[in-house]
Amino acid sequence: MARIDLDLAHSYKPNPQADGDYALLPLKMTFDDGGAYALLGPSGCGKTTMLNIISGLVAPSHGTVSFDGKAVNTLTPQQRNIAQVFQFPVIYDTMTVAENLAFPLKNRGVAPDRIKQRVGKIAEMLELSGQLDTRAAGLSADAKQKISLGRGLVREDVSAVLFDEPLTVIDPHLKWQLRRKLKQIHHELKLTLVYVTHDQVEALTFADQVVVMTRGRAVQVGSASDLFERPQHMFVGHFIGSPGMNFLPAALLPGAPAGAKTLGVRPEYVTLAEANAAGALPATVKQVQDIGTYWLLTAHLADGSAVRARLRPEAAVPAAGDGVWLGLAGTHTCFYGENEELVAGGPSAGPLPSRPAIPLGDRPAYSTGEGQT
Amino acid sequence: MKPVNQKAWLLILPVVLCVAFSAILPLMTVVNYSVQDIISPERRVFVGTEWFKAVMRDEDLQGALFRQVGFSLAVLAVEIPLGIALALAMPAQGWKSSAVLVTVAISLLIPWNVVGTIWQIYGRTDIGLLGATLAKLGIDYNYTGNATDAWLTVLVMDVWHWTPLVALLCFAGLRAIPDAYYQAASIDGASKLAVFRYIQLPKLRGVLVIAVLLRFMDSFMIYTEPFVLTGGGPGNATTFLSQYLTQKAVGQFDLGPAAAFSLIYFLIILALSFVLYNWMQRVGTADKNAEAGHG
């Protein structure tokens, strides 16, 4: 059990010059003891690198990793007492399921009675009890991944359990089941869990705090509702939600705050408005799709920018080609500045709440380049 | 009723002819000799299974067979562990890896009879580096006079010549293990020994079966190296099966017994190949199923 602090940057190249040379740009981040975190971002955004730096499989090229305030840069995963589960199941072919689960404990010289007890408990949690004496090699992919998960959870004194897209190879219906299991295990064991994924649903349902990453930067840390209601960066607005946030030039509507270049409004908050209503703009409907629980309306404004709106099923829906007025300004409208970061807006309007945990502008001394925009 | 069409026989006829000409007929010639006593090219007598009975009772042959089995087992006992150890010690990447690979493979490029000649000179106490060094150290080493020395020299020569093959196969096998296994083992706190025992060795199983098969069959048919080095001596300490056969067939011109023995030799190799091949197939499919399980 430990609080994990990161204050580092990492490059796989020996002599990084531009931002593009970094797998992880300089960042500061804290994972609190006992929290459930998700690292969310597209492929290649640096989330697996961050995970491997926490576990000790990769040493950061700049800065420090500390556990409970002590730097652990040079310690091995074993010394850090980390458990990690990988994307593809890793099992020891020649061992039975029980021996696989017992392996991390056996290597640490835990007493046989205790091992048996722990293995029994974890097997029960993961519903592997019936297969304990089967050889692991012949099992299905999801049973194997359950064994990998079990090996990560079997030690009770771990600093943290890290998951690197562990459900990629699992069938969709089992994914839900396993994710619920993980959540349940988190409640029972109070372990620090860090979960890497590129699936927003997975991240938002699993974690208390989601770290959204893109191109080596962590652009926002927050709860599901923070990410939805007040995306701190245009990338978050675009990446979270289905479909993502609408972005329009801020100048289209009067009354944009100073420094705002782009206006962002989620399709959920775009409304059909009266003609000439305040905060509304005229548009031409291009397409209306029935998505089942809602209508998805796509319309073009006078300047050609596309706006999508989610309309409730009972709403009177216009047809393609109709002229409508769309309400875009409201308490849920966000404004973004030159650097794609939030300058104003969101439901708790007024002054911005505390800055994201990573002060993006406030680069440590070893920063070598300017921020990407 | 289905119409019967025998034309397919015509289509396989070329294959039948080729195989008959290249394999079946030569083998049948040997079978033919094995049941006759050839007194002169004109005079031959049918003797039935007499030669087979005689060969099976032949103590020299039994001796050669035991020596052969002992030699092959010794070859495997030394070359397989040594090859694995070498492969584990070889650098995995970079120019060092290439340099080591080339160096290790050198002995594989040397023809059999040259290997024999190299060791014949190398082991001589008057002009050979190994023989002279051993003599200087006060070890009484003489591969032409002492049966144990001769046997050991042939064994060491084979180890020198063929261990690199095992090492290269294992090296390839080791490179095929995904990094995630080593990462998981490091997370699980496995020792180096545990990594070898539970990851590397199980993952090498496939290539090791091939290495064992190749080295067993090859060493079971060894002929050239001991022939060049010791000529099968001293006495018959290094006379292995194929050399014994040559002595019979070419040296003494005992075509009947030699033919009978050839067939027995052939059947032994066939039986062993069959057993090893099936074992290999089973291991292979087990692996494949396991891989398929990964999705």
Is the per-residue pLDDT at B124 higher than 70? yes
pLDDT for position B227: 85
pLDDT tens for B184-225 read: 888 888 888 999 988 998 888 888 888 988 898 888 888 888
Which of the four pLDDT bands, split at 50, 70 and 90, describes residue B285?
low
In terms of DSSP bridges, do strands B44-46 and A193-197 run parallel, antiparallel, or are they unpaired?
unpaired
Residues of B in contact with A104 (CB under 8 A): 187-189
Is A93 in Cβ contact with B188 (below 8 Å)?
Answer: no
pLDDT for residue B223: 86
pLDDT of residue A360: 36
What is the location of CATH 3.40.50.300 in chain A?
A: 4-229
Residue B235's pLDDT is what?
A: 76
Distance from CA of A86 to the nearest CA of B (A): 7
Give DSSP secondary structure letters for A203-215. Answer: HHHH-SEEEEEET
CA pair distance A196, A43, nearest whole angstrom: 11
Contacts of A334 (CB under 8 A, 6+ apart): A230, A231, A237, A245, A263, A264, A265, A342, A344, A345, A346
Structure confidence at residue B79 (pLDDT) = 94
pLDDT of amino acid A173: 79
Does residue B287 have a pLDDT over 70?
no
Give the mean pLDDT of B234-245: 83
pLDDT value of position B293: 43
Burial grade of A367 (CB within 10 A; 0-12, 13-18, 19 or more): middle
If you average pLDDT over residues B254-266, what whole number do you get? 86
* Cβ within 8 Å, pair A151-B184: yes
> From the list B180, B198, B293, which residue is nearest A141 (CB)?
B293
The highest-confidence range among B2-6, B172-176, B271-275, by mean pLDDT, is: B172-176
In whole angstroms, give the CA distance from residue A45 to residue A151.
27
Residue B186 sits at the chain A interface (C-beta within 8 Å) = yes
Is B38 among the domain residues?
Answer: no
| Over residues B116-142, mean pLDDT | 87
Closest Cα in chain B to A161 = B187
Contacts of A119 (CB under 8 A, 6+ apart): A98, A101, A102, A105, A132, A154
State pLDDT tens for residues A44-74: 888 888 888 888 888 888 888 888 888 888 8
The residue range of the domain holding B113 is 44-285
CATH superfamily of A4-229: P-loop containing nucleotide triphosphate hydrolases (3.40.50.300)
Answer whether residue B151 shows pLDDT above 50: yes
Bridging pattern class, strands A160-164 and A82-85: parallel
Going by DSSP bridges, is the β-strand pair A193-197/A36-40 parallel, antiparallel, or unpaired? parallel
CB contact under 8 A, B187 and A94: no
Is the pLDDT at B70 greater than 50? The verdict is yes
pLDDT in tens, B161-178: 999 999 999 999 999 998
Q: Which residues from B are below 8 Å from A169, CB to CB?
A: 294-295
CA-to-CA dists, residue A298 to A239, A245, A264, A266, A290, angstroms: 19, 13, 16, 13, 12
pTM above 0.80, yes or no: no
Contact B201, B57 (CB under 8 A): no
Q: Which of A29, A368, A54 is nearest to A220 (CA)?
A: A29
Q: Is residue B34 part of a domain?
A: no
**CATH number given to A246-345:** 2.40.50.140
B5-42 pLDDT tens trace: 888 888 999 999 999 999 999 989 888 888 888 777 77
Q: Chain A interface, mutation test: which of B187, B285, B288, B291, most A Cβ atoms within 10 Å?
A: B187
State mean pLDDT over B90-118: 89
**What distance in Å separates the CA atoms of residue B123 and residue B126, rounded to the nearest whole number?**
9
Series of mean pLDDT values for 10-residue runs along chain A (373 residues): 82 80 84 87 85 87 85 84 87 88 88 89 84 83 86 84 85 80 82 87 85 86 85 86 84 77 85 80 86 85 85 79 82 83 66 40 37 36
User: What pLDDT does B77 receive?
Assistant: 94
Chain CA centroid to CA A148, Å: 22
Residue B263 lies inside a defined structural domain of this protein: yes
Average pLDDT of the residues of chain B: 85
- What is the CATH number for B91? 1.10.3720.10
| Contact status, residue A82 vs residue A162, Cβ threshold 8 Å | yes
Question: B189, A93: Cβ pair inside 8 Å?
Answer: no
Asked whether the ipTM of the predicted complex exceeds the cut of 0.90, the reply is no
Lowest mean pLDDT among A234-238, B94-98, B249-253: B249-253
Total of domains in chain B: 1
Closest CA to A158 of A119, A191, A182: A191
Per-residue pLDDT, B284: 55
- Report whether pLDDT(B75) > 90: yes
For residue B268, count other CB atoms closer than 10 A to its CB. Answer: 15
Best A49, A54, A86 residue to mutate vs chain B (most B CBs within 10 Å): A86
Contact between A195 and A38 (Cβ < 8 Å)? yes
Task: Give the up-direction half-sphere exposure of residue A165: CA atoms within 13 A in the CB hemisphere.
Answer: 15
Q: Rounded CA gap, A57 and A39, in Å?
A: 17
| Chain B contact probe: residue of A87, A94, A101, A175 with most B CBs at under 10 A | A94
Q: Which amino acid is at B213?
A: L
Which residue in chain B is spatially nearest to A78 when comparing CA positions? B189
